[in-house]
Amino acid sequence: MSPMPDNLARRGEPNGAAVLKGVQRITMSIFRSGEFKIAALTSALLIASLGPRIASATLGEPEMTVQSDVAQLRASIKSSQDRAGYRVHEIQLPGGTLLREFVAPDGNVFAVAWNGPTKPNLRQALGKYFDTYVSAPKAKFADRRHVNVQQGDLVVQARGHMRAFSGRAYLASAIPAGVNLGDLH
């Protein structure tokens, strides 16, 4: 990953306060859950050291690697929500598409999903899994409207049409217990 240019780093700052609140929230909820205490402590320290530049991450990578996505995608964080068993960062891409990144209690991104008028840069959002996606063989009856890729642990499913793209990618083995696949969108 190339270093983030200064102008992109500055662009992320207005979201800093909201993101910090999100960090506090997730840290507290992790403590409340009584699980991952050591991991949470470590994460909290790392997250705090990154300060307002925290945003979101890339599939299969820690949440702290994050803001590279927001910066690289010239995007902004719209919201960060805690849900039962995971956290969602919602990233607003400049063209109107929403990219959601799902973070497991272990601090790693286990899924990304998108919905909007253009496709997101999946090389950024899928990270090291992008090449696996691109090199997957085409299914029989492939048309221009659907993606259904399952390569090892990686699942990519998308559907839609011009000016309406929707899809998701997840790591099957990384889905936290109790998370409904139907909620990953």
Partner 1 sequence: MVMLRAVRMGLSVALCLSAISCGGGGGGRTSTTPPPPPPAVNTTSVIVDQGPKDASGNVVGSVNTLFTSVTVCVPGSSASCQTIDHIQVDSGSYGLRLLAPVLTLTLPVETLSNGNSLLECTGFLDGYSWGPVALADLTIAGETAKSLPVQVIGDSRFTTVPSTCSGTGGTQEDTVAKFGANGILGIGPFQLDCGNCDTVATNGLYYACATATNCVETLVPTAMQVPNPVTLFAADNNGIIIDLPTVAPTGAVTVSGQLIFGIDTQSNNQSGAQTVLTLDGMAELLMTFNGQTLAQSFIDSGSNGIYFADSNIATCTTTGLTTFYCPANTLSLGLSIQGANNGVMVNNLVFTVGNTETMVTTAPTDTYNVLPELAGTLPAGNAGSFDYGLAFFYGKRVAVAVEGSKTSVGTGPYIAF
Residues at the interface with partner 1 (CB under 8 A)? 74, 93-96, 115, 117-124, 126, 130, 133-134, 138-148, 157-168, 181-185
Q: Cα angle vertex 25, ends 19, 96, to 5°?
A: 40
CA distance 108 to 95: 27
Question: Which residues sit opposite 158 in a β-bridge?
Answer: 147, 167
The nearer residue to partner 1, 23 or 75, going by C-beta atoms, is 75
> Closest approach of Cβ 50 to partner 1, in Å?
25
Nearby residues of 90 by Cβ (< 8 Å), 6 or more positions away: 77, 78, 79, 80, 81, 98, 99, 100
The nearer residue to partner 1, 68 or 157, going by C-beta atoms, is 157
> Closest approach of Cβ 182 to partner 1, in Å?
4
Find the helix or strand (DSSP H, E) in which 21 lies: helix 16-33
> Closest approach of Cβ 142 to partner 1, in Å?
6
The nearer residue to partner 1, 37 or 145, going by C-beta atoms, is 145
CA distance 109 to 83: 14
The nearer residue to partner 1, 30 or 59, going by C-beta atoms, is 59
> Closest approach of Cβ 6 to partner 1, in Å?
18
